[in-house]
Structure 1
């Protein structure tokens, strides 16, 4: 008995954070800075900044000319079909599909990275606030449930997050895309500036430089982070700390406090619920290397394991109180999957700028904020979309099959090729109850744990929107006078936006939502969920900035409630 008591004592902390990505890093930093002894659990391997294996390799240093081998494709078949991830320079950041299987009723692209830092190492870094319009949209349209918060509730937390992570961007004065605290913006190139002027003149729509979590100036509070080197090799991991990730920023800050215990290779598979106390007392952990099972205990638990990671843990946590999954009194756990639909837009070639070029490899592009279903504009679908795009010139690779030799070849190689421009839409997916994920107890993963089955698809609203996403892009490029304008619309499944959201949504009513306005589980006040699963609607902006702001806000509330002994 004494041994058990001693073991429990050694495994007891003030707080537990599950996951080390965008949200988990913020939870860890904020909890430890508030002097809470915090256990941070990561299911994957250890990664420390600046140890990224391919970050400084030249193309000729990568095996197989950087291309995937047959063995790679065999190990990552679902990810290989996306064309995103199975390359020699980044394949190590993405999971082995055979060891971590999932099933899909309709195609679902689930892109995962199991390691310390999670997808904060590979994220796209575009950082936009949701506006007042986005938090009111469900109520206004009579769709799903109303957000339990408004823009004013989150604005100070957006402020805090932007100042910390370093967001490069320009203040544009666009009401529905609120300005924030920005580092110097990156520059639009000459063709993009041309597009900006013409789109403004002919359509009254703004074209701005993307707002991105890159340090374009020194961040005094993060001396370990350097500034962006404009290498555009971000998905390999940045040894300079030029962009924000939890491994280069929030986790080192948490470590500095002396209050963090970081434990990699620790798969949280269940929450421990005490029926008498009406609280969660801890988590059950499977060691990914040894298979050993351990329990850890804490007063407060933050689930930041990614949308489907956190939802898996909750669905797999069955008790007398929660027979259908932890906190699932509403029956909404696992439902309302959202993402952004993309792979639709237009491209063109551009003449007349042959005497101009650009410097560096800008890890960013232009952004056209949403303009549909706003003001007097009314479409035959709800919500809208934004565009991300860029203009560039063809380089020496256009000459791979060049037949000239000697001086003639040298002269040809020294001249850049043709300018081209393209833009792709990011459209809002509505929170449909029918878009869901369920626990599959028949198919087990490498560790003997249940897996997930996805049943989600685009619906009529998104397909109507996609017509505008392609046609509007072409219309703008044609109005700018560009040549060979062509549209594209590639059929995709949900998931490829890698912005999965909504499976444990926030709401005002415990009967229709899983979390309250503080990201607390309605039915269990000492468990908070602050990753994408908390989202009530998706808007069309990249969502990671919102996850971080929600996390910082939830920790502030949790600490105050702990101090009042309400948790």
Structure 2
């Protein structure tokens, strides 16, 4: 064991979970090695962030070569790959995977991971979300309840900055918010009409990790309020939205306790049979192929749901012949993602004298109302909507036969109002939905690839139909014109909220982790990315990953002090 490769803690991954693990462990005094399989991206190293539209080649559209290299990222369900964003996304040719059933897996291999590319919607799970599995006999019961995580939601929201409104809704707990962003006049109109015609349904501004005002603390001087550019996918040099790069990693670096190694592909955990614990990780250098072993007392797996699962499945030994910590046989199973891609849109007459300021990087939100209180539907759980209303811009004139002054005047005049919203529905955990390791096919690094076998089942299909029916009903009841539904071809994974493959639970026979994100079978390994989720709710899950990571890090430090791990 090379002493220069020995640390108190190792964190694998630098996305929303890895960044929080790095911050919490280093601030609590642990010498922490942080490993990322991609290149370094320092806050501000966002090459297209300040480019004007005319400075981007090909009209900011993907080229034929881009499409050939990114067949997954250019499927109809995807929203991101352009000339201004393609550098954040994995090349699907060098990083392939198998699909027994189609699966949309979107990846970014660089420091910060998808914290640079996420949609920033930040919602808490509610008491009913954490109780539903147990009450309904679905999957396994969560080993925690809302009160266990509520203080950590407070802690995380305060540090990262989440803007939102206080609503007193039991299915969507309030938090420690910065001032809410403002709804447009048409969104307010829709809000009022929904409230008047549909009891129990409420339209609110989205809760987003974009700073609507200065932070309530002075621990992130590199961050400034949102500039309303709505170019978040490029990276924000103002630090106006939360990312690991702008927030948690600088905090960890400031402690002097963090060592970061990039282009470091963790492919295996090292297990010591005599000690009954993990002692370190094996790493492949992405550029040179050199292999290195690093050692630590505690390991945090934060490589993303499928990144961590890949490493765990690949880490076999006499103790764990079917994958690290996989005594239950549940590792890789119970894939969940939110239903995505269906909703409705309409045109709105009136308000021609009204506009809005800037380009708000946020939309409205209609929280779940199905199976809440006395409402009982034919399916389990529910869904929420995310959407927005705005005026059409100059792109509406592309096929208009105007030239010269007439075209200029038309382009300077805002177009009519339109409104659109899309549902995000809960997916139930099912052992049938799984990912396995295919050792017969290798990626460019010689590592086996994942094979996905997941699909929406009967309950999800029923939710999908209700999402469209309710959206059409609400827009029609509001009196809007040309109301029509839409449905994007979206496989499981398209919601980019994958979770559940190393679920937590009370019983080691049916789950991989306990209520502290600790492996039942190996107490010094914690998994705090989306893998741990026992159910999905219908809310965007990243805030929960962060809160649970901070909670797990606190537990790990206390257990180290007690000599329990």
Category of TM-score, reference length = shorter chain: over 0.9
Equivalent in the alignment of 1:217: 213
Q: Measured at CA, do residues 404 and 311 of structure 1 come closer, stay the same or move farther in structure 2, by a change above 3 Å?
A: closer
* Whole-angstrom CA distance in 1 between matches of 2:530 and 2:104: 16
SS for the counterpart of 1:13 is strand
Alignment of 1:34-183 (within 5 A): 34-81=28-75, 82-183=77-178
Task: Measure, in 2, the Cα distance between the counterparts of 1:211 and 1:535.
Answer: 21
2:275 maps to which residue? 277
Q: Which of 17, 23, 31 pairs up with 2:25?
A: 31
What is the distance in 2 between the residues matched to 1:419 and 1:208? 19
CA contact (8 A) 2:5 2:294 kept: yes
Q: CA deviation at 1:375?
A: 1.7
Q: Secondary structure at the match of 1:49?
A: coil
Equivalent in the alignment of 2:329: 331
Say whether the 8 Å CA contact 2:31–2:258 is kept in structure 1. Answer: yes
**1:342–1:497 CA contact under 8 A, matched in 2:** yes
How far has the Cα of 1:407 moved from its partner?
Answer: 4.4
- Structure 2: distance between partners of 1:408 and 1:507: 65
Contact 1:73 1:86 in 2 (8 A): no
Alignment deviations for residues 124-163 of structure 1 (CA, whole Å, 9 cap, x no partner): 0000000000000101111010000000000000000000
Structure-1 residue corresponding to 2:436: 438
**Which blocks of at least 5 consecutive residues in structure 1 are unaligned?**
none
Show CA shifts across 1:466-501 (max 9, x none): 111001011111111101111123342100000000
1:452-531 counterparts in 2 under 5 A?
A: 452-531=450-529
State how far apart, in whole Å, the 2-side matches of 1:357 and 1:47 are.
37
SS in 1 for 2:523: strand
Q: Distance in 2 between matches of 1:221 and 1:340?
A: 34
Deviation at 1:391, TM superposition (A): 0.4
> 1:93, 1:127 → 2: CA distance?
22
Cα distance in 2, alignment partners of residues 247 and 359 from structure 1: 28
SS of the aligned residue for 1:331 comes to coil
Residues paired across the two proteins, number: 561
Q: What residue is the counterpart of 2:192 in the other structure?
A: 197
Equivalences for residues 290-329 of structure 1 within 5 A: 290-329=288-327
Q: Secondary structure at the match of 1:341?
A: coil
Q: Tell me if structure 1 keeps the 8 A contact 2:20–2:549.
A: yes
Residue equivalent to 2:537: 539
Offset, 1:85? 2.9
8 Å Cα contact 1:42-1:115 kept in structure 2: yes
- Give the CA deviation at 1:33: 0.2
Q: Deviations over 1:88-130 (max 9, x none)?
A: 0000100010110000011100000000000000000000000
* d(CA) in 2 for partners of 1:182, 1:160: 11
Counterparts of 1:558 and 1:249 in 2: how far apart (Å)? Answer: 22
Mean alpha-carbon deviation: is it higher for 304-313 or for 63-72? 63-72
Tell me which of 1, 6, 15 is aligned to 2:9: 15
Shift of 1:64: 1.2
Moved more, 409-418 or 238-247: 409-418
- Cα shift at 1:400: 2.7
**C-alpha deviation, 1:323, in angstroms:** 0.7
Whether the aligned pair in 1 keeps the contact of 2:219 and 2:251 (CA below 8 Å) is no
Structure 2 matches for 1:340-351, cutoff 5 A? 340-351=338-349
| Aligned-residue offset at 1:216 | 1.1
Cα offsets for 1:344-399 (capped at 9, x unmatched): 11111000111111110000000000000122211111100000000011112222
* Cα deviation, residue 543, structure 1: 0.1
Deviations 1:159-183, CA, capped at 9 Å, x for gaps: 0000000001000111110000000
Unaligned runs of 5+ in 2: none
Q: Distance in 2 between matches of 1:55 and 1:406?
A: 32
Aligned residue for 1:349, secondary structure, equals strand
- In structure 2, the CA distance between the partners of 1:493 and 1:404, relative to structure 1 (3 Å rule), is closer
Counterpart in the other structure of 1:428: 426
CA distance in 1, matches of 2:237, 2:426: 34
Structure 1 pair 403–488 and aligned structure 2 pair: CA distance change class (3 A): closer
Give, in whole Å, the separation in 1 of the partners of 2:221 and 2:550: 21
Deviations 1:4-60 (A, max 9, x none): x5xx21100000000000000000000000110000000001100111000011111
Pick the aligned partner of 2:236 from 235, 238, 252. Answer: 238
Shifted more, 74-83 versus 443-452: the winner is 74-83
Large movers: runs of 4+ above 3 Å: 401-411
TM-score for both structures, normalised by structure 2: 0.98
Q: Where does 1:344-363 land on structure 2 (aligned, <5 Å)?
A: 344-363=342-361
Tell me the CA shift for residue 405 of structure 1. 4.3
Distance in 1 (alpha carbons) for counterparts of 2:396 and 2:98 = 41
- What CA distance in whole angstroms lies between the structure 1 residues aligned with 2:408 and 2:111? 46
Corresponding position of 2:550: 552
